[in-house]
Amino acid sequence: MGEFELIRQYFMPLVRLHGSHGVVVGPGDDCAVQRVPSGFDLVFSIDTLVEGVHFPINYRPDYLAWRALAVAASDLAAMGADPSCFTLALTLPEVNETWLRDFARGLGEAAESFGLALAGGDTTRGPLTLSLQVHGLVESGGAICRSGARPGDLVVVSGPLGDAGAALDYLVADGSSESQRASIDEQCVLERYHHPQPRLKLGSALRHFATAAIDISDGLLADLNHILEASAVGANIERARVPVSPALARLKGDTAIEYALHSGDDYELCATIAQARWASAPPSLKQQLTVIGVIESAPGLRLGGTDVMSGSGIVGFDHFRGKA
């Protein structure tokens, strides 16, 4: 069996979700074809993950696949888009059948879980790199952008923050994606790194409430600052309100909050919501969110009233400084 044949064999089962996702021509032709229903906009984002930069060297292929699709799908959640399909450009140093089988299994589990059908892709030889483009749909004009935050809006976040950042510490120190030697708390935060959950249903629900949203990939402060800049507003955040998991609190003590403020990789959402809308939001929505601060007209990002801008901007993740 040729190498391309092998790849086709492992990825073709992921195509089964097609019909229900508007994909009318799937992998195997020059292009894929998607039918976008009348009255809807196509929402899309491309993300690249490079071995040794965005994930550890020799990272487990099933975890890698899940993480890669989750990272991409999280951008759909931030726009309030409902997931439809994705393309995968996979660059491999060699074709290793075991690796490929595990990768395809992880990708299939993620695709099923997130409701994304594999529509097409490209496989090439080179240093291990993945580029994924995800496609979603929103009612025309309904996408949540970064630019809609207004003074007085509440700043909310989903889930506890910082777990995945603490997991990276462990992975870098341990040099392995296995966790046999990890404590229960370490296993908790590792799971959040290995299997991030893009907040797709929450994002979809936020479409009717949020004035702006972003997914937290680079750290809460850095990502919230993107909303502030795009909306030409400022914000004040109460440090004590930022949600931290019990596991992270036990592992990191007083520095847990620093992980929650500065580390990304959890792929939770940060959104802004007008106070009147928040008051009328259903409990099912409120239960998934924590109010951590308020949008203000004065530019800049403040923690308990103290400016956290430095000359070079918010401390956060810069891909060109490298990581993992």
CB of 240 to a copy of itself, least distance (A): 28
Q: Which residues pair with 270 in a beta bridge?
A: 157, 214
Is the CA virtual torsion 66, 69, 75, 78 positive or negative?
A: negative
Segment near a copy of itself (CB under 8 A); pick from 88-96, 101-109, 240-248, 278-286: 88-96
**Site membership for a copy of itself, residue 214 (CB under 8 A):** yes
What is the rounded CA–CA span in Å between residue 155 and residue 212? 9
Sole binder of a copy of itself in the list 14, 79, 202, 206 (CB under 8 A): 79
What is the rounded CA–CA span in Å between residue 215 and residue 277? 21
Reading the block at residue 134, the tokens are: 């995800």
CB count within 10 Å of CB 299 equals 12
Find out whether 288 and 202 touch, Cβ atoms under 8 Å.
yes
| Residue carrying the six token digits 């959640």 | 77
Reading the block at residue 237, the tokens are: 């955040």
Q: Characterize the bridge pairing of strands 82-92 and 117-125.
A: parallel
SS3 256: helix
**Site membership for a copy of itself, residue 251 (CB under 8 A):** no
Number of residues that bind a copy of itself (CB under 8 A): 69
**Site membership for a copy of itself, residue 298 (CB under 8 A):** no
CB of 121 to a copy of itself, least distance (A): 6
Site mask for a copy of itself (CB under 8 A), range 2-41, x = bound: xxx-------------------xx--xxxxxxxxx-x--x
CB count within 10 Å of CB 232 equals 10
Site mask for a copy of itself (CB under 8 A), range 144-183, x = bound: -xxx------------------------------------
SS3 158: strand
Sole binder of a copy of itself in the list 14, 15, 56, 131 (CB under 8 A): 131
**Site membership for a copy of itself, residue 120 (CB under 8 A):** yes
What is the rounded CA–CA span in Å between residue 101 and residue 89? 16
**Site membership for a copy of itself, residue 119 (CB under 8 A):** yes
Sole binder of a copy of itself in the list 10, 16, 42, 191 (CB under 8 A): 42
End-to-end CA distance of the chain: 36
Sole binder of a copy of itself in the list 88, 100, 118, 260 (CB under 8 A): 88
Sole binder of a copy of itself in the list 11, 61, 87, 264 (CB under 8 A): 87
Q: Which residues pair with 214 in a beta bridge?
A: 270
Applying CB under 8 A, the residues found at the interface with a copy of itself are 2-4, 24-25, 28-36, 38, 41-54, 75-76, 78-79, 81, 87-89, 91, 95, 119-127, 129, 131, 133, 136, 138, 140-141, 143, 145-147, 213-215, 230, 312-313, 318-320, 322
